[in-house]
Each structure stands twice: as C-alpha cells, then as structure tokens.
Chain A
Amino acid sequence: MENKKTVLVIGAGPAGISAAKSLANDNISVTVLEKEDTFGGNINNWAKLFPNFKDAGEVKSSLIQNFVNNQNIKIVYNKKVTELKKHNQKWIANTSDGEVFESDAAILSTGFKVFDAQYKEELGYGIYPNVITSVEFEKMYKNGKILTVQGSVPKKIAFLNCVGSRDEKVGNHYCSRICCIAAVKQAIEFKELYPQSEAFIFYMDIRMAGQFYEELYRKSQEKHGVVYIRGRISETSSTIDKKVQIKAEDTLAATPLRMTVDMLVLMIGVEASKSTTILSKQNNIDGPYGFAKSKDIHTADNYSNENGLFLAGSCKRPLTLTETIADGKSAAISVVEYLKQTK
C-alpha cells in the first residue's frame, strides 16, 4: 500500500465515475470530490435516454457498479472545489469549506450546465408559465405526465431547438449537439403519451449525427406525425387562457408564421459549468466559451497543457452520455500512462 498512487477526480458525473472506476481497477487510490450530495451529475435530470429510450436510472445503476463500494475509491460529497493548483509535483484541491486534498494527478470532470433560458426574454421563460425547458420536460415525464400549468393535457406542444446554442446574441456560437436528438426523443415521448395531441419542432438544422438518430427522426414523422418547421421563434406572448402565442418564420415557405400552442418547450443548450470555467482558468487551460482546453483534440484529448491535470467528459465541449462515459475511461488510461512515467 505504501507507494500507491493517488488521483483526485473532481465531479462525480458519468465522466468522473467512469474514470474513477478504471483507475481503481488499476489499483490506484482515487478520491472523488462531488459538490452535490449525490453522484450522477446531469444524468439525474433525465428520464429516458436517446436513441433507445433506455431508462436513465438503469444506465446509472450499471454505471455505478463497483463505484460506490470500491475500496480504492473514496467519494466525498458536498465538496465544492474552489482552487486547484500544482505544488511540488502534487495536485492540491481546496474546497469551499476549507478542506485540502492532495494527489499525484487530477482529473477535471466538472461537466456542463444548461443554458439559463431567462436570458432570452423574448421566449417568455420565467414570464409565461407554460413555457418550460427541456430539463423540466424530463422531470414531468419522469412523473408520467406532461401537463400545462392549468393541469390539462396540451393539445398542441412546440419544441424550440438551439436555445442558447448557435446564437450569436447570447455569445454561444457552437452547437450543443444533444438538443436536436433530445427534441426528437421528447416529441416521440409526448406523442406516445398523448397520441391525439399535436407536436411541432422548430429548428435551424436538424443535426442527426449519431447512430440511430436519423432513424428516430424519420420515425417521429412517419409513425408519430411530429411536424418539423424550419425557423427560429422570434417572440412569444400569452393569450388570455394562458396559451403561448408564437411568432416565427417558416424559412422553407419564406413566410412569417403565428401559432398558438398550449406548451412551449425550450431545448436549452450546453454551457461550461461554473467549476469548469473557474478551475480551468486557474490552470491556464481555459478554452473558448469557458470550457477546458485539451492538449490536442486528436491525439491527447484527455491531457491538458498542465502536466498531471487531465480532462474527462463535457468539461471540454458538449458531449453525449455515450461519449462521456467512454471519455472517462480514456482519461483514466492517460492518467495511468502519466503515473508510470513519473514512477
């Protein structure tokens, strides 16, 4: 046990969990620091996962096998890392409650946060109660019902893509990658619950770049009759009966369009989490939009420019869950390589 190497993993989301497990497997002593009182990160927000509608809880259960009761893994909850610094070849993490953790290497798996839709005031989130976010849709769906604030089944629902992504006005030029397919998934879920209702998806481009995505997109139209409208919603207002009135442009028909729906779901984009931004800035590995920057996107994607500090998951850029889990393992391999070199 004497010469056992230690690694700090910051964030117990899918990337952190998968990295910690792999490291523990290599008989490395891992300390996972999690700011919440539970593990799982953003996976806890999801009910079912694209593209196969697998229950997110099930995926989480299999992910945490050998994680929670692993003798090589120590999980510390409610520890928000405020400072991460290298000192004498050691990585020192200070937490908000004044505790200090030390290790031979550190993995940043601080993940993402969702875009705050209130910034786009014109979409009425926080103003009109029947305008909700995709995360809130998931929570409702978990409880088995999608209901308006009045308690009725929406006869018409609209999903709006690219809220906080690919939007120069909010300063996010990039594509969040997961929202298009999530909208397709949620629209299908909605139609399966309420086949009599109508579902519309407003989009700029439908980006179905993943296995089975395109098939799902097709199915949503052929089997469920989801209607796709190419155009962004420019503004919303409320009718007297609390419905949401949408003004948009149908760019394929080249005409302005108005529509009244019972509920509007904003597919909010992915942004770097606060911890991601703060900790990567401290170590000069901050990339665009507050994400962390890897050493080389092709060949050293889990390395950072700081020796001994590694990156796993969506702290680097928006990733799907599938990619995140794989990236956690990949980060673990890089850490092992590094620890061998430093003996």
Chain B
Amino acid sequence: MNYNPFIIPFTTGAIILFAIIIYKFIAWYRKLDKKQRFYLRKNILTFKSIEAIKESFLEALIHRNIYKKNLLLGYMHMSLAFGWFLLIIFGKIEASLHAQTLFEEPWLAIFFRYFVRDEHKFFMSEIFPPLMDFLLLVILSGVLLAWLKRFSSSLLGMKKTTRHSKFDKIALASLWWIFPLRLLSESSTAALTGNGSFLTGTVGNLMAVLNLQYFEIYFWWAYSICLFAFFVSLPFSRYMHIPTEVVFIFLKKWGATAGEEYSGYTDFQLNACSRCGICIDVCQMNFAANIQNVQSVYFIRDTRYKHLKDETANNCLMCGRCVEACPVGLELTVIRQQLRNKKEIAGKHYYDYTKPQEADKKYDIVYFAGCMTHLTPSIIISMKKIFEEAGINYWFMDENKGTCCGRPMRQQGFIQQSKDLISINQKLINSSGAKTLVTSCPICYKSFKEEYVLDIEIKHHSEFINELIENNKIKIQNSQKSIVYHDPCELGRGSGIYEEPRNILAKVGNLKSSEFEKQNSLCCGGSLSNAIIELEDQIKIRNHALENLTACNPDILATACPLCKKTFVHGNKAKVMDIAEIIAENISLQNQSSKHKEKNKIKTKIEL
C-alpha cells in the first residue's frame, strides 16, 4: 500500500467534508416544499437533467456569466474551478492507470508524484506529467489573480469586493496556499527523482540549487494540512457554493422556484452564493447613496449564518438589478421577501371593511388604474381619453372603491394581507366577464400576472396602447419632441416589457437613448418595497438616476409607472410624463365630436 502519515490530514479532512455536505444536503432536501419536490420527481428523468449538466459545466466550471462582467475575473474563477476539476479528474485517471484498478488508495491521486517516484511505464504514462504541470500552472495563474484582486479589486473590474467572515478567511488562506505548496512538494520530489515535467522539473532544479529538495516530506505535510484546513472550513465558508451551486442548478432546471415561504430551496440558494460581490457594484444603494452592508451578498450571508438584521432585510429597493447581475442566478428579491415575512395573525381577515362593487354588466375590457395611478390623476384622464377615442367598452374597476393589488404588502412580507386583497380583486375582475385586463401600474401588472389566478389576458397600458396604434384603433401625430424613456423596475426587469413603450414613443417623438437602459435601467428611488430608507438617501438615488436620464437634455422624460413619475417630478430636472399622457396629448381625434371638444375645455385650468 502506498502510505505515509502525511496523508492523514487530507484523508480525515475529505471524510469530514463529505459527511457534512451529505448531511446538509439531506436536511435541505427534506425542507423542500411540496411543489419543489413535485417538480424534482417529475423532471429528474427528462432532458432537463442533461441541460442541468450542461449549465453546471458552463457556470460552475467555466463561469460563463462572470466572463460577461470581466474577462480577467472570469478567467480567475475558471482557472481555479475548471483547472482544479481537471486536475482531480486526470489525477484520478493517472492513478487508476498506474494501479490498474479503479479502487486504488483514495489519496494516491493527490500525492501521486510522492508515491510513484520511478519512471514505471504504464499506458499513456508519458502524457500525464506535462498535462498535470500545465493544469497546475493554469491554477497558479488564477491564484495570482486572486491575490491581486485582494490587493486591488479594480484590476479585475470590481469596484468593491466582499468583506469576509472568519471561516472564509481560513478557507481563503488555505486555498491560496494549496497550489503553491503542491508545486513545492512535487518540485522537491522531482528534484530528487526526476519525475517532474516542464514546471515541476524546472522548479525542482531551482530548489536543488538551495538544497531545498531535502525538505520534501515537510512540503508534502504542509500541502496535506492545507487541504485539511480547506476541506474542514469549506462547509462553513463561502466555498460551500462549490458543491451547492451544482445541486441548485439541477433543482432550478427541474423547475423549482422559491415560493412565498422559506424552504429547503432557499437553503440551497443561500449556500450557492459564492459571495463574489458583483451585486455590490450594481446596487444603487451602494453607488448612489453609499449605503453599505445591505446588499444581496450581505443579506444572503447574514441569513445563512442566522444573524440577519431587520435593516439588512428591509433596506432594499427590490429593483432587481442584482438579480440581473448575479452570475449564479439566485432569486435574491424573492428570498428577501421570504425573510421579511412578518408573522401575521392566522385566519384573520384584514380587509372586511372594503365593500367592493361588482360589475353591473359585461364589458370587453377591465381597466385597473392602481393606487399609485390614483395619485397621478393625469394618467387616469389620459387613459379615459384613449379608451373613448378607441371606442372601447371598458369598466373602470377601481374608479371609486379601489382595492390595492396586494403586491406592496407581499413585498413587505405581509402574505396573508396580500392574499386577502387578491381574493377581493379576483372576484371583481371575474364579475366583468372581460377578456382583457389593462392596468397603468407595473406593480399591479406583475402582481396580476404572477400572483393572481385569472383566466384573462393581462396587459400593461403600454402594451395595450401599442396594440391600439398597430391596429389603427387610434391615430397619433409626431410631436417632434425629444424623449428619453425610463424603464420602470417592475415593468422592465420585473416583467420583460422593453419594446412596446419604445415602439410607441418612437412614433410620437424623437426617442433618445440613455446610459442605463433596459435590463440595466436604474430604480427611480421611490420604490414601495423599501419602507425604511431615509428620505435623503432616496433623494440621492433619485437625483443620480435623473442626472443620467436627462444627460442629453430631453424635452420629456417618459416613464410607464406612476410611482416613477411622482418620484422624478420632485427632482425638478425635466418634464416627466407617463406614456399614456404623451399619447393622449398627441392623439389625432378622428371622431372629434362636440363632446370631445367640451371635455378638452374642462381641462384647461381656470385663470383666476
């Protein structure tokens, strides 16, 4: 048997590591909710598993998403992950070929050069030394970059990097030293036996100059101890993401989603976070308002270690910029929502005092303005004008006794309240018999689409107006004004509506682009999901966004969300208008009846 006491730290560490990981995975699996387990069973034997293997390869080993952010940062992650992965695989093949069995001593592959000192020839034995040396060199280049990143994160395209916990530091330090020590161990053995290749051979020769090769056994010991330290700290450190990310990718591909409640799937996601800190750089709280320690990486970390503070959970705009940027694809805002969950009184009905009025007859279209739109009445007036001009038989559902869609409650973690509101609205919507529901508020839109059970087509007014124009139901004229469009979070990143608003605006004016657009658009700062942010900070976020949006001095700053409109108006930077208002202003009245003329007159404000 190939044995030396220095294999003990490595072997013990590996056993502890696997035991803990298996224990944790089983515990989390048992906490998966019914829906998640259902999808797992349903899809485990389908081609979705093949997709998951492919994605695991691309993300967990190649780190494709990090390459998108920065080439060097991507290379750093890939060299460490993929390089090490290949080193293990080829090491195992080499050891198995040498031992002529698949069941050689498990540590043989790791310490192969120490135990196989002669030049015993075995099948393909001559290709391994240079290959293993090459892989080691790749990994070492990644380690060098990691050192540089600690020294100056901006070299690798990161403005800020994550601050670490105790276990992280132990794991990180051992990770840094594993490969340099492997180089020294193998090189010293190479110096003594000549079994090295271009890297270990050369370094070995250099070591021989200083007679360092006689410390061979100590280098191997140090290498083994470093592996032990890394393995034992891994399950408690950020490096738990290495095994967890793969499981997460499989669960995700099988169709699991984070529900309203904290579940085992949440645990998998919390542990799949590598704490790379990419979410810090994209967070407006960080770069516009200089608020630290609340970003997703800290939120996930604190939740995982169970010392989450209310401030960290609640001081977030839920704009979704970090979700868009996360290389692992974690459902960061949904998890935050789960953790915000206030304990409600079970079985209590919170909105008994609302007396919703059902539709008096059947309609083609239901219009739901939404609470925020009621605070911007010019949007409502514009929508009425558009509906009338298009000759639509519509029901203004929340004109008098409106009820909130429930989403703001949900985002704050009040699930029961949200459900109560949803059931009230669902009943009303169904009473209209309409085929389409139009809303002016992106928050309501997302809520109707994702949280309601409705057999009805749901459209944001930008989609609806776009269709009216395409189908020639309304005619508009081009005002020639320059317009910049601001993508509201819930409509853009939240619901993927990017083209319809631009399509409309290009027809009524001269649409200009801005620095932060579409997936990369900024939050206005007025988000309802953050109930604790200080006004001054909100203003900083708003002003920063306004500055960027109005850099080209547009005549109009257009948006498609009443909340964004209200927030930006107070910034006093540009004329802010909702898409509906812009269309209503530029509508060419086809059936210009006296009724319409009179209506327009009313709107002219009295001069006193």
Contacts and interface: CB of A to CB of B under 8 A. Distances in A.
A128 B605 CA distance: 7
B417 interface: no
Interface stretch (A59-67, A132-140, A189-197, A276-284): A132-140
Given A136-B608, A139-B608, A168-B535, A122 B569 contact: no
B539 interface: yes
Contacts of A299: none
Interface in B333-388: 353, 374-378, 380-381
Contact of B375 (A122, A140, A168): A122
Contacts of A258: 400
Contacts of A204: none
Contacts of B374: 122, 235, 237, 247
A95 B320 CA distance: 50
A48 to B, nearest CB: 18
Nearest to A131: B605
B608 A121 contact: no
A341 interface: no
Interface string A130-160: 0010001001100000000100000000000
B120 interface: no
B608 A171 contact: no
Interface in B590-608: 602-606, 608
A124 B377 contact: yes
B606 A129 contact: yes
Interface in A235-266: 235-238, 242, 247, 255-256, 258
Nearest to B374: A235
A166 to B, nearest CB: 13
B570 interface: yes
A157 to B, nearest CB: 15
A168 B535 CA distance: 7
B475 interface: no
B535 A119 contact: no
A140 B607 CA distance: 11
B377 A235 contact: yes
Interface string B246-265: 00000000000000000000
B570 A236 contact: no
Contact of B570 (A139, A169, A235, A242): A169
B377 A119 contact: no
Interface residues of B, number: 21
B377 A237 contact: yes
Give the size range of A's interface with the partner.
20 to 34
B376 A122 contact: yes
B570 A127 contact: no
B605 A129 contact: yes
Nearest to A121: B376
B512 interface: no
A176 B539 CA distance: 22
B353 A127 contact: no
B375 A242 contact: no
Contact of A132 (B400, B566, B608): B608
A119 B567 CA distance: 10
A132 B603 CA distance: 14
B535 A127 contact: no
A170 interface: yes
A98 interface: no
Nearest to A236: B377
A119 B608 contact: no
A57 to B, nearest CB: 19
Given A129-B602, A140-B608, A168-B535, A119 B569 contact: yes
A208 B268 CA distance: 60
Contact of A119 (B400, B570, B604, B605): B570
Contacts of B399: 237
A128 to B, nearest CB: 8
B567 to A, nearest CB: 9
A135 to B, nearest CB: 9
A126 B605 contact: yes
A255 B608 CA distance: 35
Contacts of A236: 377
Contacts of A132: 608
Interface string B509-528: 00000000000000000000
A170 B542 CA distance: 13
B377 A122 contact: yes
Given A139-B608, A171-B539, A237-B380, A127 B375 contact: no
A121 B569 contact: yes
Contacts of B375: 121-122, 234-235
A71 to B, nearest CB: 39
A171 B538 CA distance: 11
Nearest to B379: A121
Contacts of B603: 127
A256 B404 CA distance: 14
Contact of A127 (B377, B566, B608): B377
Contacts of A235: 374-375, 377
Interface string A167-197: 0111100000000000000000000000000
Contacts of B604: 129
B602 A242 contact: yes
A107 B381 CA distance: 48
Contacts of A126: 605
A4 B146 CA distance: 76
Contacts of A124: 377
Contacts of B570: 119, 169-171
Contacts of A168: 535
A188 to B, nearest CB: 21
A255 B353 contact: yes
Contacts of B378: 121, 127
Contacts of A119: 569-570
Contacts of A256: 353
A36 B378 CA distance: 33
Contacts of A255: 353
Interface string B151-177: 000000000000000000000000000
Interface string B546-566: 000000000000000000001
Interface in B523-547: 535, 539
A127 B381 contact: yes
A256 B403 CA distance: 12
Nearest to B572: A119
Contacts of B605: 126-127, 129
Contact of A171 (B381, B535, B602): B535
A128 B381 CA distance: 10
A139 B566 CA distance: 30
A110 B431 CA distance: 59
A153 B569 CA distance: 34
B403 to A, nearest CB: 11
Nearest to B539: A171
A140 B377 CA distance: 26
A64 to B, nearest CB: 26
B165 to A, nearest CB: 37
Contacts of A121: 375-378, 566, 569
Interface string B395-433: 000011000000000000000000000000000000000
A70 B196 CA distance: 106
Interface of B: 353, 374-378, 380-381, 399-400, 535, 539, 566, 569-570, 602-606, 608
Interface of A: 119, 121-122, 124, 126-129, 132, 136, 139-140, 149, 168-171, 234-238, 242, 247, 255-256, 258
Closest 8 CB pairs of A and B: A122-B375, A129-B606, A235-B374, A136-B608, A149-B606, A121-B376, A127-B377, A168-B535
Given A126-B605, A171-B539, 19 more contacts: A121-B377, A121-B378, A121-B566, A122-B375, A122-B377, A127-B381, A128-B377, A129-B605, A132-B608, A136-B608, A149-B606, A168-B535, A170-B570, A234-B375, A235-B377, A236-B377, A237-B377, A242-B602, A255-B353
14 contacts: A121-B375, A121-B376, A121-B566, A122-B377, A126-B605, A127-B605, A128-B377, A132-B608, A171-B539, A235-B374, A236-B377, A237-B377, A242-B602, A258-B400
